[in-house]
Amino acid sequence: MSSNTIVSLKPENVIRQIPWRLTSNSALGVVLILAVLSLVGWLYLTQASAVTTTSYQIDEMRMELDHIKNQNAALILEIAELQALSRVEKRALELGFQPTDEVRYLSINNFPVTAETRQLQDPPAVENSVEAYVDDVEQPGWWVQKLDILAGWVASN
């Protein structure tokens, strides 16, 4: 017995030979699932990209802050050197000022000043201490602490 089965590769015959059929409803379901998966992937990649970009910006700003702190420290050192008593005396001599041995006292009307008028005349005391300024600059502010917390959270996720 010989069987002469001819297999036709025409599309309509191939579709008849496939054991499962793809209906329009199931094709639509597959397309919707692919679309949702693509959307979720796109959202994830967009968010990850934004977080990475923000992290790089934070790192750049921290490096800039460190650079500015170093510049401030150098300027504070320069101010301290310029305010040194030996340098001020040397500069005064260069400008023609001389130390004096002769002291003259002047009389001033309405002296001594009472405490009440002194409070009205004296400006409020301003702290010009270099150490106080350095301490103020070195203390991290509220914003820096919040950025550190955010960076730690981003790094852990």
Higher-pLDDT residue of 32, 143: 32
99 upstream amide cis, omega within 30 of 0: no
Q: Is the pLDDT of residue 124 over 60?
A: no
Predicted confidence band of residue 127 (pLDDT cuts 50, 70, 90): low
CB of 76 closer than 8 Å to CB of 134:
yes
Distance CA 4, CA 23 (A): 32
Distance CA 152, CA 74 (A): 31
pLDDT tens for 44-62 read: 999 999 999 999 999 999 9
Q: Is 96 left (phi over 0), alpha (psi -120 to 50) or beta?
A: left
Q: Is the pLDDT of residue 156 over 90?
A: no
Predicted confidence band of residue 78 (pLDDT cuts 50, 70, 90): very high
